[in-house]
Amino acid sequence: MPTVRNHGWPTDVLAVRQGVSHAAWLAGIGLAARWGSRLSGCRLPAEPTGHSHEPTVLALLERVDEPHESAADATSFARLALAGGVTRADWVSCRGSLAETLHRLGAWHDLVILARDAFAGDDPFEHFGQALLGCRMPCLLLPTDSADRSGLFPRVAIGWNGSIEATRAMHAALPFLHAAEHVTLIDGARARSPDDTDEPAPDFDPMRYLARHGIAAHRKTLRTTPSHAGEALLAATVHDRSDLLVMGGYSHSPVRERILGGATRHVLAHAPLAVLMRH
């Protein structure tokens, strides 16, 4: 696979396997080989089910007594990386929760890749939201049944609500947008509540920004109510046959969470496609 180098593309990629699926490792290998990035791999146990945020005594004992990665995992990852054309691959020892791991490893990685089966509970927002807030990295979340091993997404949709989080996500998505054949900006900014006093990104026109980077995007307006924003956003991506959705993580503003930002929980729980999210 030819290596493509471009200023600003991720130089350090983290692929976390947390569950049964190898999707995160395989996508990380495909992207690192294409970008010439250094790839770090690790494995964590699936997050526990239940609504309590406090770890049980049993969970704590398991974290201490059972290694979260094995020599077999490290060997498997190294062989996959080599076969996939990655020349710089490292195995990272990971202990603790996903949020703790990403908070630590996020200090020197540019992108983290996870598979949807990393979240064993019914509400992935509870686990992923905390991890997203703590790591500050762009997070690529793959569907559990992801069959794509290359990390290529020909059709990309951008969920836009005018927020700083959405702006950060769009900026982080540039490598994916450059590689895409079709880019759609799903504009939900007009659906913002009049009670939302947060200012949008100053002097930022998303279409102009994309054009400046050589990306020809199509703009579609999302007409919906705040309570149905997540459902409408996913419906728009299905209609557009998108492979990847780019969106900002939830804002600190509880009002904005009720607009497109409030779609975060719904998207994490129901997205049938890959999602690139950044807080």
C-alpha triplet 75, 79, 82: angle, nearest 5°: 140
Q: Are 191 and 224 in contact (CB under 8 A)?
A: yes
- pLDDT, one tens digit per residue, over 147-170 is 666 788 999 999 998 888 899 999
Percent of the chain's residues with pLDDT above 70: 72
pLDDT at 57: 41
Pick from 80, 143, 179, 147: nearest CA to 275: 143
Residue reference for tokens 């200090």:
107
Q: How far apart are CA 200 and CA 198, in angstroms?
A: 7
Which has the higher per-residue pLDDT, 157 or 64?
A: 157
Query: pTM here?
Result: 0.83
Side chain identity, residue 167? T
Q: How far apart are CA 16 and CA 101, in angstroms?
A: 10
Domains and CATH numbers, the chain: 12-142 (3.40.50.620), 155-278 (3.40.50.620)
Q: Write down the H helix ranges in the chain.
A: 23-35, 57-65, 71-83, 98-105, 124-135, 164-172, 174-179, 206-212, 229-239, 264-270
Q: How far apart are CA 15 and CA 42, in angstroms?
A: 7
Q: Are 233 and 263 in contact (CB under 8 A)?
A: yes
Q: Are 201 and 165 in contact (CB under 8 A)?
A: no
Q: Are 119 and 240 in contact (CB under 8 A)?
A: no
- pLDDT, one tens digit per residue, over 5-41 is 454 689 999 999 987 788 999 999 999 999 999 999 9
How many Cα atoms sit within 13 Å of 241 on the Cβ side?
A: 4
- pLDDT, one tens digit per residue, over 210-257 is 999 999 999 999 888 777 888 899 999 999 999 999 998 765 454 444
pLDDT at 28: 96
